């Protein structure tokens, strides 16, 4: 992250900004300040100010793929660990990469008795990574939804997995990923689950986010 500028919210590190984005925010409002090489935002209405900034960045073409879905805003420790029990409020999902804020997602790997795995192909209409292979189901965790409930919902929406089957998911591990992308910094904690399927289960997408499913040998 040596080419990025740290975003600090109420004295706590929270995100990563490209120089161009930092300049846009400083130009947008005097409430945004630069100090010791960081961009700072303070006050009791952090979520409101971030939403105004996101709207501004969107109007200037810096944020695309507006989702009308909110993620929780979380700060991090200096070591990059977030406290997901303490939210500063809600913010439009599409703005998270541009601001480098930490988000959360669930990814479910599904497998059959013979050891083959089920992968989904992302729809061509997806704003991120269209037409690429993915887990059978995956999705971001919106504010006020638990990790488990999000996994069950995504299984239903993306693959039409009944609740009695989806409830058998097994948590495996969590992974914190940070990487630079064209639309900012992907900064996300992924909760990984496994799900055993019966040999005759055929997934069917319900929400238009998966174009088709494949069964692969490992």
Statement: residue 2 has pLDDT above 70: no
pLDDT on residue 81: 80
Statement: residue 218 has pLDDT above 90: no
DSSP-assigned states of every residue in 141-209 = --TT--HHHHHHHHHHHHH---HHHHTT-EEEEEEEEEEEETTEEEEEEEEEEEEE--TT-----SSSS
pLDDT on residue 1: 61
Per-residue pLDDT tens for 173-209?
999 999 999 999 999 999 999 999 999 999 999 999 9
Per-residue pLDDT tens for 114-158?
999 999 999 999 888 899 999 999 999 999 999 999 999 999 999
Mean pLDDT, rounded, of the chain: 94
Q: Give the residue ranges of DSSP H helices in 9-146.
A: 19-28, 46-59, 96-99
Per-residue pLDDT tens for 27-41?
999 999 999 999 999
The CA distance from 82 to 13, in Å, is 10
Continuous segment of H or E residues that includes residue 63: none
- How does 12-32 read in b/e, with b if 16+ C-beta sit within 10 Å? ebbbbbbeebbebbeeeeeeb
Q: What is the pTM of this model?
A: 0.91
pLDDT on residue 79: 73
């Amino acid at each position: 992250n040596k080419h990025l500028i740290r975003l600090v919210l109420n004295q706590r590190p929270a995100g990563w900004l490209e120089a161009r984005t930092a300049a846009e925010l400083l130009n947008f409002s005097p409430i945004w300040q630069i100090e010791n090489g960081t961009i700072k935002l303070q006050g009791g209405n952090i979520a409101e100010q971030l939403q105004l900034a996101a709207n501004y960045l969107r109007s200037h073409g810096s944020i695309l793929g507006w989702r009308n879905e909110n993620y929780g805003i979380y700060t991090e420790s200096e070591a990059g660990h977030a406290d997901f029990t303490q939210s500063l409020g809600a913010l439009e999902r599409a703005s998270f990469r541009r601001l480098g804020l930490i988000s959360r997602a669930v990814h479910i790997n599904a497998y059959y008795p013979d050891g083959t795995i089920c992968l989904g192909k992302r729809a061509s209409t997806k704003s991120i990574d269209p037409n690429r292979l993915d887990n059978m189901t995956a999705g971001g965790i919106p504010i006020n939804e638990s990790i488990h409930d999000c996994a069950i919902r995504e299984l239903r929406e993306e693959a039409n997995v009944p609740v009695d089957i989806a409830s058998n998911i097994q948590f495996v591990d969590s992974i914190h990923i940070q990487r630079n992308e064209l639309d900012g910094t992907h900064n996300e904690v992924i909760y990984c689950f496994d799900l055993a399927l019966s040999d005759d289960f055929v997934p069917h997408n319900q929400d238009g986010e998966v174009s088709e499913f494949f069964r692969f040998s490992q």
